[in-house]
Amino acid sequence: AEWNKLEEERKKISEQQAQMSNKHQQVIDEMRRIQQDIQIKQRELDHINNVQETRLAKLQHQNLDAWKAVKWLRQNKMLFQKTIYEPMILSLNVNDPNMMKYVEFIIPKRDLLAMFIFEDTDDMELFIKECHEKQKLVVHGSAIPSMSLEEFRRESMPIRDLKKYGMFQYVLDTIQGPDSILRYLCQTIKIHTLPIANEAAMVHIDDITKDGRIRRFFVKNFFYTLSISYYTNEPSTTNVHVQKEKYLTDSVSHDRKQKIEQEHAQMKGRYTELQKSQQTFEKDQTSLSRQLDDVKARKIAINDKRNMKAKLERKIEEKKHTLTMYQRKQIDIEKEEKLAHEKEMKIHEDKMHKLSVQVKELENFNQKCSTMLIDSGRVALARQQHLKADGKLETYNEELTQLK
* pLDDT exceeds cutoff 60 at 153: yes
Tens-digit pLDDT profile for residues 28-43: 888 899 899 999 988 8
- pLDDT reported for residue 82: 96
What is the C-alpha to C-alpha distance for residues 24 and 277, in angstroms, rounded to an integer? 8
Question: Is residue 397's pLDDT more than 80?
Answer: no
Going by pLDDT thresholds of 50, 70 and 90, the confidence category of residue 19 is confident
Contact present, 199 and 187 (Cβ < 8 Å): no
Higher pLDDT, 390 or 304: 304
If you average pLDDT over every residue of the chain, what do you get?
85
Mean pLDDT of 234-261: 83
As a whole number of angstroms, the distance between CA 114 and CA 60 comes to 11
Lowest mean pLDDT among 2-11, 55-64, 74-83: 2-11
> Please, are residues 216 and 225 in contact by the beta-carbon 8 Å criterion?
yes
Q: In whole angstroms, what is the distance from residue 281 CA to residue 287 CA?
A: 10
pLDDT of 254 reads 67
Mean pLDDT of the region 11-24: 79
In this predicted model, what pLDDT tens digit does every residue of 99-146 receive, in sequence order?
Answer: 999 999 999 999 999 999 999 999 999 999 999 999 999 999 999 999
pTM above 0.85, yes or no: no
Inform me whether the pLDDT recorded for 203 exceeds 60.
yes
| Other Cβ atoms closer than 10 A to 154 | 10
pLDDT at 404 over 60: no
The answer to whether 241 and 229 are in contact (CB under 8 A) is: no
Which pLDDT does position 236 carry in this prediction? 82
Nearest Cα to Cα of residue 215 among 239, 244, 246, 186 = 239
Q: 188-192, 262-266, 387-391: which has the highest mean pLDDT?
A: 188-192
The whole-angstrom separation of Cα 282 and Cα 275 is 10
Whether 403 shows a pLDDT value over 70: the answer reads no
Residues 6+ apart with CB under 8 A from 253: 93, 95, 176
Among the ranges 9-13, 106-110, 340-344, which has the highest mean pLDDT value?
106-110
Report DSSP letters for 126-145, one per residue: HHHIIIIIIS----EEEEPP
Is the separation of the CB atoms in 117 and 181 below 8 Å? yes
Q: What is the pLDDT of residues 248-303, one digit of tens each?
A: 887 776 677 788 889 989 998 988 898 888 888 888 888 878 887 887 888 788 88
Q: Is 145 left (phi over 0), alpha (psi -120 to 50) or beta?
A: beta
Biggest CA–CA distance in the chain, Å, is 233
Residue 336 pLDDT class (50, 70, 90 cuts) = low
Highest mean pLDDT among 40-49, 194-203, 327-336, 367-376: 194-203
pLDDT value of position 333: 62
**What is the structure's pLDDT at 400?**
60
| Whole-number Cα distances in Å, 264 to 37, 127, 184, 260 | 8, 34, 31, 6
Can you give the residue ranges of every domain in the chain? 63-252
**Distance between CA 188 and CA 101 in Å, rounded?**
19
Band (170; pLDDT cuts 50, 70, 90): very high
Q: What is the structure's pLDDT at 73?
A: 97
Residue 402 pLDDT class (50, 70, 90 cuts): low
* Residue pair 226/215 in contact by the 8 Å Cβ criterion: yes
The better pLDDT of the pair 87, 51 is held by 87
Torsion (CA) 209, 212, 214, 220 in degrees, nearest 10:
-10
Q: Is 134 left (phi over 0), alpha (psi -120 to 50) or beta?
A: alpha
List residues bridging with 226 in a β-sheet. 237
pLDDT beyond 80 at 340: no
Q: Report the Cα–Cα distance between both ends of the chain, in Å, rounded.
A: 144
Q: Which residues of 43-65 are buried (b: 16+ CB within 10 A; e: fewer)?
A: ebeeebeebeeebbebbeebbeb
User: What amino acid occupies position 372?
Assistant: M
- Position 70 pLDDT exceeds 80: yes
pLDDT band at 389 (very low <50, low <70, confident <90, very high): low
